[in-house]
A and B are shown apart, each in its own frame.
Chain A
């Protein structure tokens, strides 16, 4: 079983549009949307959900007013500035402490050091994940609550579920729409993957972001491929990206021209390879053929045992 993760240094480079096309071209694959922060793959693949489960990203501390003696121990040990001295009055004191939920990281230090056991520590539901059926195969996706904590953990849940589904259905390919950036969700998206495809754009930001995300991928030792989307917007920077890729030892497996057909396909709720009348779809087909070839040869022999 092979797992391909499509990532980009930043969002908006066309990651989701490409994953949706790959899903259509791969024939049989399990799909996973790990951009749990702003999941969009479902907008193209129109999933029919048959299983949903809530996700708890961690715990949250809450001070019980009646038990609080305002000793300030919790405030002294909290490193996140989450304890505020403006809580409601109790029967014994005029002002208590309270936990500011937005600042609370759920570490539980305050809970452990409260001398009167006045702080409760309970799991909070911060999101939901789904298993669905799409026209191109099964799909695992998720939704983090606005401002929700611990997207990295939710990403791991999505990938684990996708793997189980692939094993159950004896499907040998998992296609993952990864998270953008280089923070905890993308780390959770790529660790242990067989291969990543980095999508970038020929802009100075795109070049900069490619170098940063590549450094991350190398940090985790995962083979990487590169695709330059909208390559004709600035051919000079496209060439610089290609030169950078060569220096870093990353193969450029495809270039895609700028085409508003991507947006028109999105408005129609289909991927570009399913959208009639676009020659750009051929570029995407060639890209997929190249990626599939690399996936076939890309892993070390001992992993195939």
Chain B
């Protein structure tokens, strides 16, 4: 992705087919145990639609950078209403109605087709803020998060990429990926050294896991599974992982004290130190299986 001298030695993405499986819990607790071991760690919250890691890491935000994307700007005085811009837009973000050009910013991907094609130079590209990147320090590691502006439907993947581009040199970078398996998740997981998929042992959990596994296979990144609330369902997830030869990195038990610590925004390894060895074990298994 970038110059190896300034990028992290190992990038690990924590992902899941769907939300609510414990992705953020795993990401933040792995960052804390890795930092406690003396590694230089960066934690990047790439769940830019609903970033939640900061609730747990409580980092001191030192820098806020707006993310600007190129968007078309119309100079109506120059526009002849030829409609070429609307014809060329694959995302239906421009309409030309009775010779009048209307731009729908929230559908725009900023590809530039319209302003490159405009014969009168009536359209130019103008950067517009679609989100922010915030960075700072937490207890023992660097923290970065991206946040997309509400209503900016197409802006998530570029903000995910901007967060990843801002990762500097370190031993380990942990990415809290967006849920799901579409464009934002792919932007977070693509070209990483390992993907840790978090799931639950339920029919919903298994179904979404199988989709996430297919996606990660297409991206050709090694992966493993963490089973959260390991005792609430049945053993279909374990059997699936065995059949597919996907290692199970660890199992977090279903525990009311964990749920309550989560609800308060507490780190498990700090509020309930008896679970620290579990996260240390997951980290060690990831490090052994990852590609650097």
Quick one: which of A265-282 are within 8 Å of B by CB?
A: 266-267, 269
Contact, CB under 8 Å: B181 / A38: yes
Chain B proximity of A46: nearest CB distance (Å)? 11
Known: A38-B17, A43-B207, A209-B50. A108 touches B113 (CB 8 A): yes
Known: A12-B20, A204-B55, A233-B260. A216 touches B183 (CB 8 A): no
Q: Please, which residues of chain B bring their CB within 8 A of the CB of A112? A: 88, 113, 116-117
Closest A residue to B256 by CB, please name it.
A233
Closest B residue to A106 by CB, please name it.
B90
Quick one: which of A193-232 are within 8 Å of B by CB?
A: 201-206, 208-209, 212, 215-216, 219
Q: Please, which residues of chain B bring their CB within 8 A of the CB of A258? A: 259
Contact, CB under 8 Å: A12 / B18: yes
Known: A40-B207, A181-B50. A11 touches B18 (CB 8 A): yes
Contact, CB under 8 Å: A182 / B148: yes
Complex: how many Å from CA A59 to CA B113? Answer: 15
Which of A79, A148, A237, A267 sits near B182, CB closer than 8 Å? Answer: A148
Contact, CB under 8 Å: A109 / B208: no
Contact, CB under 8 Å: B263 / A38: no
Complex: how many Å from CA A126 to CA B192? Answer: 24
Which of B18, B24, B186 sits near A147, CB closer than 8 Å? Answer: B186
Which of B21, B52, B183 sits near A149, CB closer than 8 Å? Answer: B183
Q: Say yes or no: is B145 at the interface (Cβ < 8 Å to chain A).
A: no
Chain A proximity of B220: nearest CB distance (Å)? 10
Chain B proximity of A212: nearest CB distance (Å)? 6
Q: Say yes or no: is B244 at the interface (Cβ < 8 Å to chain A).
A: no
Q: Say yes or no: is A146 at the interface (Cβ < 8 Å to chain B).
A: yes
Contact, CB under 8 Å: A266 / B150: no
Q: Please, which residues of chain A bring their CB within 8 A of the CB of B55? A: 204-205, 208
A205, A212, A267 — which one has the most chain B CB atoms within 10 A of its CB? Answer: A205
Known: A109-B116, A152-B153, A234-B260. A205 touches B218 (CB 8 A): no
Which of B116, B204, B234 sits near A77, CB closer than 8 Å? Answer: B116
Known: A102-B186, A147-B218, A147-B219. A212 touches B263 (CB 8 A): no
Q: Say yes or no: is A10 at the interface (Cβ < 8 Å to chain B).
A: yes
- A: residues with CB less than 8 A from B are 8-13, 16, 35, 37-38, 40, 43, 58-59, 77, 79-80, 102, 105-109, 112-113, 144, 146-149, 151-152, 180-185, 187, 201-206, 208-209, 212, 215-216, 219, 233-234, 237, 258, 260, 263, 266-267, 269
Q: Can you show 10 pairs from A to B with CB atoms below 8 A apart?
A: A9-B50, A40-B203, A40-B204, A112-B117, A148-B182, A181-B49, A183-B153, A205-B50, A205-B265, A233-B256
- B: residues with CB less than 8 A from A are 17-21, 24, 49-50, 52, 55, 70, 88, 90-91, 106, 109-113, 116-117, 148, 150-151, 153-154, 156, 178-184, 186, 190, 202-204, 207-208, 211-212, 214-215, 218-219, 232-234, 256, 259-260, 262-265
